[in-house]
Amino acid sequence: MAFNTTATIASFGGKLLKLTHKSSSTNTSMGLNLYLPPQSSSSKVPVLFYLSGLTCTGDNCSEKGFFQHGASKHGIAVVYPDTSPRGLNIQGEDDAYDFGSGAGFYVDATKDPWSKGYNMYTYITEELPKALFESFKELDESRVGITGHSMGGHGALTLFLKNPGKYKSCSAFAPISNPINAPWGQKAFKGYFGEDQQEKWKEHDATELVKKWSGPLELLIDVGTGDNFYKQKQLLPENFVAAAKEAGNDRGINLRFQSDYDHSYYFMASFADEHVEWHAKRLNA
Amino acid sequence: MAFNTTATIASFGGKLLKLTHKSSSTNTSMGLNLYLPPQSSSSKVPVLFYLSGLTCTGDNCSEKGFFQHGASKHGIAVVYPDTSPRGLNIQGEDDAYDFGSGAGFYVDATKDPWSKGYNMYTYITEELPKALFESFKELDESRVGITGHSMGGHGALTLFLKNPGKYKSCSAFAPISNPINAPWGQKAFKGYFGEDQQEKWKEHDATELVKKWSGPLELLIDVGTGDNFYKQKQLLPENFVAAAKEAGNDRGINLRFQSDYDHSYYFMASFADEHVEWHAKRLNA
């Protein structure tokens, strides 16, 4: 077994496993949570990857996100990975909430010293699913969806758009939708890729990626109108939809502005059921 | 307005208000959360008091308990008070997790120095509801229920049993059901009342109180079989049911042992919908 199970917690009729494993992508031990719904004891179940936002680990959403409620109903496993390597001892890695620890941005860093472990793109798209499908035979690797919040919404959109066919469903909560034009994204890409690597930046920008998408595109995206980061133009979901429209790919995008909701887990919990149902329709089809 | 509203947060179609007010019972400022369901904008709604357990404030359950999910569906307001006064500057008040700050035990202390503010019984049963009903006309004071977790389950059971007619519905999660025979309860009652005040202790012991109850008694109580505090005999729900049975009052008590569930919010979140429905049936009847 590639994973150590440090706790098994009953939740909504299923169980939440607290796991750790050695990652060759990040060169660290990585923690994550895996929710196995009750249906997984008798049959293979689809898997929804939930990518967290800045500062979070896989714990926050498993406690406050309410995804287990819908996942139990629809028979879907949920994977809650961490948001970066931890403890690489890179100078300054813990100095800011929006860069380094807790802020891996789901990219493979190319710039020293971050390239020695900040490889969350490879970790999430390759290493972690491979390890999970080897260790947990109840997970159906042919039915995988992806979602996420804020930085994790950026992760969900970009990983989905960069890997046609890998994910059968995608949704996002308050995603950073055009990071190359937003302060958070610019800081991260400058640090992980370098200031002069504009082509590399675009490879991890959902708004750039959607321009090149071919084929049908179905996405559910929720953004709260009371979200201060939306107001500060960190998220820019309109840019994403405009780019999709220009490319003729916007018809299946359901961008919903939810009145008064903020950027917190209160927002996500309120719409978690609807997102899980969105994925269930596609993963259980 | 007796309350300051420090934040208004959209949640499950309604709004969660973060409130503070001056309390004459505790001689401090007290914080709480009030969830107003969407129905409260057009009609009076019943009110469910949720009493938290050791170490908690009103925040924990509003983030992790998911009572808002059911409360929104059934049109019930939820009050999440704090668990003790804070900042009375009593020597030792912050020294232990199970006594003093965060551990008010829903009693009025009679022993110095705690009697100068550790009056959570009067605060929860009288001062706070009076202030809420004066300030929030959408709350229906004729339809009030009470629930709680662990120390708060003890609070829910004892406040219900000591005040016939005040609460129309009662439930509890992993309640400390016989505190005079459990380490947590003995420590608290010794500190707040004194070691020699056995009659006073019994006045705040659900197992003692249920012996004297007359009339119908309907209670929903959930306890996890994986709850370490249950195993350590801090909760003793069997004593409560045995006492009720001896008094001929056990027929309406639904004590459920939930396989594998622990003492955490993961447990409560899993059964919050069912508890809210239990209250809704009685408060909306």
Cα dihedral A93/A87/A125/A271 (nearest 10) = -70
**Euclidean distance between CA atoms A142 and A134, whole angstroms:** 13
Among A52, A93, A266, A14, smallest CA distance to A175 is for: A52
Q: Using N-to-C axis directions, what is the helix angle for A265-283 and B67-74, rounded to 10°?
A: 80
Rounded mean pLDDT of B246-259?
Answer: 96
- Estimate to the nearest angstrom the gap between the alpha carbon of A109 and the chain centroid: 17
- B165 CB-contact burial (10 Å; exposed 0-12 / middle 13-18 / buried 19+): exposed
List of chain B residues whose C-beta atoms are within 8 Å of the C-beta of residue A265 = 63
Q: What's the token pair of residue B148?
A: 């709680």
Using beta carbons and an 8 Å cutoff, which residues of A are at the interface with B? Answer: 9-13, 15-16, 63-64, 66, 68-69, 224, 226, 258-262, 264-267, 269-270
Which of B10, B15, B261 lies closest to A10 in CB terms? B261
Quick check: is B150 catalytic?
A: yes
Is a pLDDT exceeding 80 seen at residue B1?
A: no
Q: Judge: B259–A10 Cβ closer than 8 Å, yes or no.
A: yes
pLDDT of residue B214: 87
Q: Active site residue: B150, B169, B171, B177, which one?
A: B150
Q: What's the token pair of residue A78?
A: 């949920």
Q: How much of chain B, in percent, has pLDDT values that exceed 70? A: 100
Question: CB-based contacts of B87: which residues, under 8 Å, 6+ apart?
Answer: B28
Question: CB-based contacts of A222: which residues, under 8 Å, 6+ apart?
Answer: A171, A172, A173, A174, A256, A258, A261, A267, A271, A275
pLDDT of residue A194: 98
Kindly report the average pLDDT of chain B as a whole number.
97
Distance, in angstroms, between A115 CA and closest chain B CA? Answer: 36
Mutate to test the interface with B, among A8, A11, A17 (most CBs of B within 10 A): A11
pLDDT of residue A40: 98
**Euclidean distance between CA atoms A96 and A102, whole angstroms:** 9
Mutate to test the interface with A, among B33, B61, B64 (most CBs of A within 10 A): B64
pLDDT of residue B54: 97
Neighbours of A24 (CB within 10 A): 11
pLDDT of residue A216: 87
Q: Buried (b) or exposed (e) across A87-99, using 16+ Cβ within 10 A?
A: ebebeebeeeebb
pLDDT of residue A1: 52
- B196 CB-contact burial (10 Å; exposed 0-12 / middle 13-18 / buried 19+): exposed
Q: Judge: A266–B11 Cβ closer than 8 Å, yes or no.
A: yes
- The torsion angles phi and psi of B11, rounded to 5 degrees, stand at -155, 120
pLDDT of residue A10: 98
Q: Active site residue: B84, B227, B275, B279, which one?
A: B227
For residue A264, give the chain B residue with the closest CA: B9
* Distance set, CA B39 to CA A259, B28, B174, B274 (Å): 16, 32, 30, 20
Is a pLDDT exceeding 90 seen at residue B26?
A: yes
CB B38 within 8 A of CB B72: yes
Question: CB-based contacts of B277: which residues, under 8 Å, 6+ apart?
Answer: B70, B74
For residue A273, give the chain B residue with the closest CA: B69
- The torsion angles phi and psi of B231, rounded to 5 degrees, stand at -65, -35
Q: B3's torsion region: left (phi>0), alpha (psi -120 to 50) or beta?
A: beta
Neighbours of B129 (CB within 10 A): 18
**Euclidean distance between CA atoms A77 and A90, whole angstroms:** 34
- The torsion angles phi and psi of B228, rounded to 5 degrees, stand at -65, -30
Quick check: is B227 catalytic?
A: yes
Distance, in angstroms, between B266 CA and closest chain A CA? Answer: 6
Weakest-pLDDT range from A47-51, A132-136, A212-216, B250-254: A212-216
Quick check: is A69 catalytic?
A: no
Look at the alpha carbons of B18, B21, B24, B26 in this order and tell me if their dihedral is positive or negative. Answer: positive
**Euclidean distance between CA atoms B11 and A205, whole angstroms:** 30
Rounded mean pLDDT of A2-26?
Answer: 98
Rounded mean pLDDT of A30-50?
Answer: 98
Q: Judge: B265–A226 Cβ closer than 8 Å, yes or no.
A: no
Q: Which amino acid is at A127?
A: E
Q: What is the pTM of this model?
A: 0.97
List of chain B residues whose C-beta atoms are within 8 Å of the C-beta of residue A63 = 63-64, 265-266
Question: CB-based contacts of B48: which residues, under 8 Å, 6+ apart?
Answer: B67, B71, B76, B77, B78, B79, B144, B145, B146, B147, B169, B276, B279, B283
Mapping DSSP to helix (H, G, I), strand (E, B) and coil, where does residue A160 land? helix
What interface predicted TM-score (ipTM) does this complex get? 0.95
